[in-house]
Chains A and B, each alone.
Chain A
């Protein structure tokens, strides 16, 4: 999916703008890196692009449909069908097994899609190096790096058109981070997924088509691939 952003801003308390983007576009299957210091508004911008902030103003057009103009219900449906999200601190369901976490969408997806989601989730877990024997263990029992991979598997299980990832390599060692980066970019390329990643990791940012820097809620372009 491609996205065009027009005068997006997320208002905060006392007239502050938590995150904003005057104009921004990412083509379908393209990738965008967001970098910047802590508190710059990267996560906030990511949430706004995914339609999770009802207070956002402006336009976010995914394949021409304005996410911000949609009702809450339509926004949710759009997210369920098209977006995958890897959160900054994983946000897995601690008591559920790795497989159940990766296939979390199956709990509420239409019955006809459940099996496909479960299969895809299991495949993703395998591809990310989690042994099948382990996938019944509760998510809480996995290491940080493993939890990150389960989160990625969950984000990809619905074969989304867009993948948002907030610091996906932050808790991985170099080798694991590189493996994950390869996997993310390869999958995105193979399936035509639009990739929007917040990261401090130069190795990840290097692989993005384009990287934007954020400071105090505003975007500044630094590099084009």
Chain B
């Protein structure tokens, strides 16, 4: 059996799960409602207690919406951050915290880091297993966007070749990220430093924008890319070449000012592991896969996610309890009607069916509204987060939320039998007298 289950496509498994979660509610509905036409009475109850009903629906909707929204948003963030790391196969830095260096390279949360020298860079760049090695040079910014020095090869890799305009041809030309508010043909003078500490007016050289990358869904969309030589020259360093006027690799080790990180594209998966082994050196270098580091981070956050899920479930249980309580009270207010039905000869199952169907309308309406709210909330949150980080977040209600909702409806359906059965237990004659 487990093998059969595992052999099914994921979508089929999800559908089957959904079906299994909804099935008990459908069976209850079939058993209770079969052969009856309780709709007019259900409508009457919905109308009679309309304000209370709306409150119940709102309560359910908010709890489901919060639960679904949080799960959706968390998944979107996880997927989005993983996608942003996709194009950074491997990074080599000086030994330290791989998380810090991953944040600095993939997410451009730049921190001061020890530099790797030219000899080492050339060793990496000329390694037979390396397809592409690029230095990164930080230090300047323009209107809050970091100006990052690197190589033509890396820019092409990052943009997957989709660059509008043209590639730079001298150190003072730039390719901008998709979210940068500069047009091709604009020019700017970079400020020294990053963020709030940036100082205008220290550098004199104007940089012209000559190209724009297609969106990458990563914080690099908000970066301005220039040749590494440009950053080095601006800061009065050597430009990496023995003879002036050269642009890009190969670099001359003696004139290489150093780089905090080397982005490496290995030739194959096997070469990636070889390279990682080779460049993990005590006191000298550290090689890591950003995707794997991120995976570890997500695993750590998984505990937080679990805690959130538990909180969500507790919240939903409380709401379910509140709704059940109000159903008990409402079905008491409906006691006279129930007694009339019983006096007219209606079977007990019919009375249960009316109260249960009424409860289910509230439950299903609340749950569906909740999913819509959850989707909306996640979308809103994602939009805010995206605008801050440029991570491409795709917040869409997914299977886990649908499963959660289906489970909630079925559980609620089972609980709703209680007030329904309670409605049946009251003495008929007393209720007929108005008791």
B347 touches A73 (CB 8 A): yes
In the assembled complex, the Cα of A94 lies from the Cα of B45 at a distance in Å of 10
B305 close to A (CB within 8 Å): no
CB contact between B35 and one of A52, A93, A94, A110 (< 8 Å): that residue = A110
**Nearest CB of chain A from residue B31's CB, rounded to whole Å:** 15
**Nearest CB of chain A from residue B348's CB, rounded to whole Å:** 8
For B43, the chain A residues whose CB sits under 8 A away are 95
For B427, the chain A residues whose CB sits under 8 A away are 54
Closest to B47 in A: A95
Chain B interface residue count, Cβ-Cβ cutoff 8 angstroms: 28
In the assembled complex, the Cα of A78 lies from the Cα of B342 at a distance in Å of 12
B346 close to A (CB within 8 Å): yes
A62 close to B (CB within 8 Å): no
B35 touches A111 (CB 8 A): yes
Interface of B is mostly: helix
Closest to A101 in B: B40
A47 touches B345 (CB 8 A): no
Stretch from A23-31, A79-87, A184-192, A201-209 forming part of the interface with B:
A79-87
Closest to B45 in A: A95
A105 close to B (CB within 8 Å): yes
**Nearest CB of chain A from residue B188's CB, rounded to whole Å:** 70
**Nearest CB of chain B from residue A23's CB, rounded to whole Å:** 23
B429 touches A47 (CB 8 A): yes
A77 close to B (CB within 8 Å): yes
B325 close to A (CB within 8 Å): no
A93 touches B347 (CB 8 A): no
For A94, the chain B residues whose CB sits under 8 A away are 44, 48
A76 close to B (CB within 8 Å): yes
With most chain A CB atoms within 10 A of its CB, the pick from B35, B40, B345, B346 is B345
B429 touches A52 (CB 8 A): yes
Known contacts A91-B336, A105-B345; is A100 also within 8 Å of B35 by CB? no
For A77, the chain B residues whose CB sits under 8 A away are 345, 347
B346 touches A95 (CB 8 A): no
A114 close to B (CB within 8 Å): yes
In the assembled complex, the Cα of A44 lies from the Cα of B350 at a distance in Å of 25
With most chain B CB atoms within 10 A of its CB, the pick from A44, A52, A73, A154 is A52
CB contact between A50 and one of B47, B48, B340, B343 (< 8 Å): that residue = B343
Report A57-80 CB contacts with B as 1/0, cut-off 8 Å: 000000000000000010011111
A80 touches B344 (CB 8 A): yes
B103 close to A (CB within 8 Å): no
A107 touches B345 (CB 8 A): no
Which residues from 108 to 138 on chain A have a C-beta closer than 8 Å to any C-beta of chain B? Answer: 108, 110-111, 114
B345 touches A79 (CB 8 A): yes
B417 close to A (CB within 8 Å): no
Closest to A85 in B: B343
In the assembled complex, the Cα of A100 lies from the Cα of B43 at a distance in Å of 12
B38 touches A107 (CB 8 A): yes
**Nearest CB of chain A from residue B199's CB, rounded to whole Å:** 74
**Nearest CB of chain B from residue A114's CB, rounded to whole Å:** 7
For B44, the chain A residues whose CB sits under 8 A away are 93-96
A52 touches B345 (CB 8 A): no
**Nearest CB of chain B from residue A147's CB, rounded to whole Å:** 13
CB contact between B347 and one of A54, A100, A108, A114 (< 8 Å): that residue = A108
Which residues from 43 to 57 on chain A have a C-beta closer than 8 Å to any C-beta of chain B? Answer: 43-44, 47, 50, 52-54
A104 close to B (CB within 8 Å): yes
With most chain B CB atoms within 10 A of its CB, the pick from A44, A100, A108 is A108
Chain A interface residue count, Cβ-Cβ cutoff 8 angstroms: 33
In the assembled complex, the Cα of A64 lies from the Cα of B48 at a distance in Å of 43
A106 close to B (CB within 8 Å): yes
In the assembled complex, the Cα of A54 lies from the Cα of B342 at a distance in Å of 13
Closest to B427 in A: A54
B317 close to A (CB within 8 Å): no
A52 touches B346 (CB 8 A): no
**Nearest CB of chain A from residue B62's CB, rounded to whole Å:** 28
**Nearest CB of chain B from residue A135's CB, rounded to whole Å:** 13
Report B22-65 CB contacts with A as 1/0, cut-off 8 Å: 00000000000001111011011001100000000000000000
B428 close to A (CB within 8 Å): yes
Which residues from 138 to 179 on chain A have a C-beta closer than 8 Å to any C-beta of chain B? Answer: 154
**Nearest CB of chain A from residue B96's CB, rounded to whole Å:** 72
For B35, the chain A residues whose CB sits under 8 A away are 110-111
For A81, the chain B residues whose CB sits under 8 A away are 345
For B337, the chain A residues whose CB sits under 8 A away are 93
**Nearest CB of chain A from residue B292's CB, rounded to whole Å:** 63
For B313, the chain A residues whose CB sits under 8 A away are none
Known contacts A52-B432, A91-B340; is A80 also within 8 Å of B346 by CB? yes
B344 touches A104 (CB 8 A): yes
Closest to B48 in A: A95
Known contacts A95-B44, A96-B41; is A108 also within 8 Å of B429 by CB? no
In the assembled complex, the Cα of A165 lies from the Cα of B41 at a distance in Å of 24
B428 touches A79 (CB 8 A): no
For A76, the chain B residues whose CB sits under 8 A away are 342, 345-348
CB contact between B36 and one of A53, A95, A107 (< 8 Å): that residue = A107
With most chain A CB atoms within 10 A of its CB, the pick from B43, B340, B350 is B340
**Nearest CB of chain B from residue A111's CB, rounded to whole Å:** 6
Report B396-435 CB contacts with A as 1/0, cut-off 8 Å: 0000000000000000000000000000000111001110
Q: Give 9 A-B pairs besides A52-B342, A77-B347, A80-B346 with Cβ atoms closer than 8 angstroms.
A: A73-B348, A80-B345, A83-B345, A85-B343, A93-B337, A94-B48, A96-B41, A107-B350, A108-B341
23 contacting pairs across A/B (C-beta < 8 A):
A43-B433, A54-B427, A77-B345, A78-B345, A80-B344, A80-B347, A85-B344, A87-B343, A91-B336, A93-B40, A93-B41, A93-B340, A95-B44, A95-B47, A96-B40, A100-B40, A104-B344, A107-B38, A107-B350, A108-B341, A108-B350, A111-B35, A154-B344
The 5 closest A-B pairs by CB, nearest first: A80-B345, A95-B44, A79-B345, A108-B350, A108-B346
